[in-house]
């Protein structure tokens, strides 16, 4: 029998109490026990109250959806003063004559959690950020600013001068040692510009040298097949999506290639061909849907967490979201029936559910977060359905 469970699994998800729905048979997911009523005066009053309550609960979300989005709670990182609005940070930056850091985040993105718990808690990072006016902005609430700064993904850190002009950017999770390099060069350039009463020149390259071996890095060889191309560069999280990108060299066989030295993590990228055409990696099946209706290729270095977790024929779906009220998962594995996921009481942002005993095959799925369908941000085998929409996918072998 195919079964779905809330599972006791360290760091993933846990059912708080042993309710009858703790174990769900696929064939009974949508079944409901019948109810019968004897319409006495008392029961009629109760039925009316229940009906009015149901109407209120059903229509209340529609009223909320019609309202303007509210600013999401600022992520908490100790010892760093985070402003909650652009205007507050702007005023502080002008008053202190210091650069601004704009941290774009999203409560659904676990990489933001990593950035907040590992990089923004580093003593050297905290010390340097005391000389910046820092503002944390939810990318979905602050769409106009995200568009202005051409946001590709979260987390992204944008650095601007006192007048709001972009100086630099750091895209994706940055290790503390790497992030310090961004902060040091921006602070140095800002101090020199201030002394000379000039505007800070924008940086055009990443401060991290990914073409040479570094501490805790691994060599990653990338190859692109296009013998007719005149020029090929690779652009991605590792160089903050700066064009024309890291150049590839054409070998005698007509294959373009380069070697990058990267720390453990997940990196999105594309090839930039002839200074005009964006191309996926035709030698790499891993991909993630991007905000432009296309997909970026994926490099996984080390043992980065991916989803779902597959053990034998059991599949554990996990998702990170600190603000959701309800999360479900549905897919071809269960006929697209919406299966409830459960919050981990030891980590309020983590949700999970395990689906057991799946037959070998290829499966597609999506999460339903408070009624909104979404792909799995930690699944890297994105696939389009017959309508052209992106689904996440996995294989049972």
- The per-residue pLDDT for range 348-368, each reduced to its tens digit, is 799 999 999 999 999 999 999
Would you state the pLDDT for residue 89?
A: 96
Distances, alpha carbon 321 to alpha carbons 105, 175, 306, 353, in Å: 12, 22, 15, 14
Residue 13 maps to a domain: yes
CATH of the domain at 113: 3.40.30.10
Instruction: Give the β-pairing of 255-262 and 249-250.
Output: antiparallel
* Average of per-residue pLDDT across 94-115: 94
Residue 120 maps to a domain: yes
Q: How many CB atoms lie within 10 A of CB 349?
A: 17
- Give the confidence band of 76 by pLDDT, cuts at 50, 70, 90: low
Which ranges of the chain does DSSP label H, i.e. alpha helix?
41-66, 86-96, 110-114, 123-129, 143-148, 176-196
Residue 41 maps to a domain: no
Q: Could you tell me if 227 and 319 lie in one domain?
A: no
Residue 42 maps to a domain: no
Most confident among 20-34, 74-88, 358-372 (mean pLDDT): 358-372
Q: Could you tell me if 321 and 364 lie in one domain?
A: yes
Cβ contacts of 337 within 8 Å, gap of 6 or more = 26, 29, 30, 330
Q: Could you tell me if 278 and 310 lie in one domain?
A: no
Among candidate residues 301, 325, 356, the one where a domain is terminated: 301
Q: Could you tell me if 155 and 249 lie in one domain?
A: no
- Give the confidence band of 78 by pLDDT, cuts at 50, 70, 90: low
- Give the confidence band of 2 by pLDDT, cuts at 50, 70, 90: low
* Average of per-residue pLDDT across 205-233: 95
Would you state the pLDDT for residue 74?
A: 59
Q: Could you tell me if 296 and 371 lie in one domain?
A: no
**Average model confidence (pLDDT) across the chain:** 84
Q: Could you tell me if 251 and 270 lie in one domain?
A: yes
Residue tagged 């990170």 (tokens): 320
Instruction: Give the β-pairing of 287-289 and 295-301.
Output: antiparallel
Residue 160 maps to a domain: yes
Q: Could you tell me if 182 and 255 lie in one domain?
A: no
Range of the domain at 360: 3-28+306-396
Give the separation between CA 245 and CA 233, rounded to whole angstroms.
5
Assess contact for 57 and 51: CB atoms under 8 A. Answer: no
pLDDT at 303 over 50: yes
Q: Could you tell me if 270 and 229 lie in one domain?
A: yes
pTM over 0.85: no
CB burial string 358-373: b at 16+ within 10 A, e below? beeeebbbbbbbeeee
Assess contact for 329 and 321: CB atoms under 8 A. Answer: no
Q: How many CB atoms lie within 10 A of CB 202?
A: 14
Q: Could you tell me if 295 and 317 lie in one domain?
A: no
Question: pLDDT tens digits, residue range 98-107?
Answer: 999 999 999 8
Q: Could you tell me if 99 and 188 lie in one domain?
A: yes
Question: pLDDT tens digits, residue range 116-157?
Answer: 999 999 999 999 999 999 999 999 999 999 999 999 999 999
Residue 119 maps to a domain: yes
Among candidate residues 244, 270, 301, the one where a domain is terminated: 301
* Count of structural domains, the chain: 3
Residue 209 maps to a domain: no
Which pair of structure tokens corresponds to residue 105? 């985040």
Give the separation between CA 348 and CA 326, rounded to whole angstroms.
12
CATH of the domain at 352: 2.60.40.10
Among candidate residues 196, 229, 254, the one where a domain is terminated: 196
Q: Could you tell me if 225 and 294 lie in one domain?
A: yes
Give the separation between CA 186 and CA 98, rounded to whole angstroms.
10
Residue 262 maps to a domain: yes
């Amino acid at each position: 029998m195919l079964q779905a469970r809330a599972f006791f699994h360290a760091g993933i998800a846990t059912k708080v109490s042993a309710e009858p729905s703790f174990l769900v048979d696929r064939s009974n997911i949508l079944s409901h026990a019948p109810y019968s009523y004897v319409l006495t005066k008392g029961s009629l009053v109760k039925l009316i109250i229940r009906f009015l309550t149901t109407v209120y609960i059903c229509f209340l979300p529609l009223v909320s959806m019609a309202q303007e989005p509210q600013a999401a709670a600022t992520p908490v990182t100790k010892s760093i003063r985070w402003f909650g609005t652009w205007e507050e940070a702007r005023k502080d930056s002008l008053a202190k004559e210091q650069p601004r850091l704009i941290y774009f985040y999203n409560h659904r993105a676990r990489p933001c959690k990593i950035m907040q718990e590992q990089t923004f808690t580093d003593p050297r990072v905290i010390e340097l950020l005391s000389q910046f006016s820092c503002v944390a902005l939810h990318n979905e609430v602050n769409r106009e600013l995200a568009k202005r700064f051409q946001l590709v993904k979260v987390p992204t850190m944008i650095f601007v001068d006192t007048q709001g002009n972009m100086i630099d950017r750091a895209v994706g999770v940055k290790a503390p040692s790497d992030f310090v390099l961004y902060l040091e060069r921006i602070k140095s350039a800002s101090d020199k510009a201030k002394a000379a009463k000039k505007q800070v020149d924008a940086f055009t390259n990443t401060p991290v040298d990914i073409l040479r071996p570094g501490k805790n890095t691994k060599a990653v060889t990338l190859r692109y097949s296009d013998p007719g191309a005149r020029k090929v560069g690779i652009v991605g999280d590792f160089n903050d999506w700066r064009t024309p990108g890291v150049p590839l060299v054409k070998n005698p066989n007509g294959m373009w290639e380069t070697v990058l030295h990267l720390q453990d993590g997940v990196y999105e990228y594309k090839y930039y061909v002839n200074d005009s055409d964006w191309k996926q990696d035709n030698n790499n099946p891993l991909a993630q849907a991007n905000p432009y209706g296309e997909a970026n290729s994926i490099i996984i270095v080390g043992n980065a967490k991916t989803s779902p977790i597959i053990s034998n024929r059991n599949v554990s779906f996990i998702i990170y979201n600190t603000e959701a009220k309800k999360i479900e998962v549905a897919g071809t594995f269960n006929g697209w029936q919406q299966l409830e996921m459960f919050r981990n009481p030891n980590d309020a942002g983590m949700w999970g559910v395990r689906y057991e005993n799946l037959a070998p095959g290829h499966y597609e799925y999506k999460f339903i977060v408070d009624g909104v369908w979404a792909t799995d941000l930690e699944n890297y085998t994105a696939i389009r359905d017959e309508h052209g929409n992106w689904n996440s996918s996995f294989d049972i072998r």
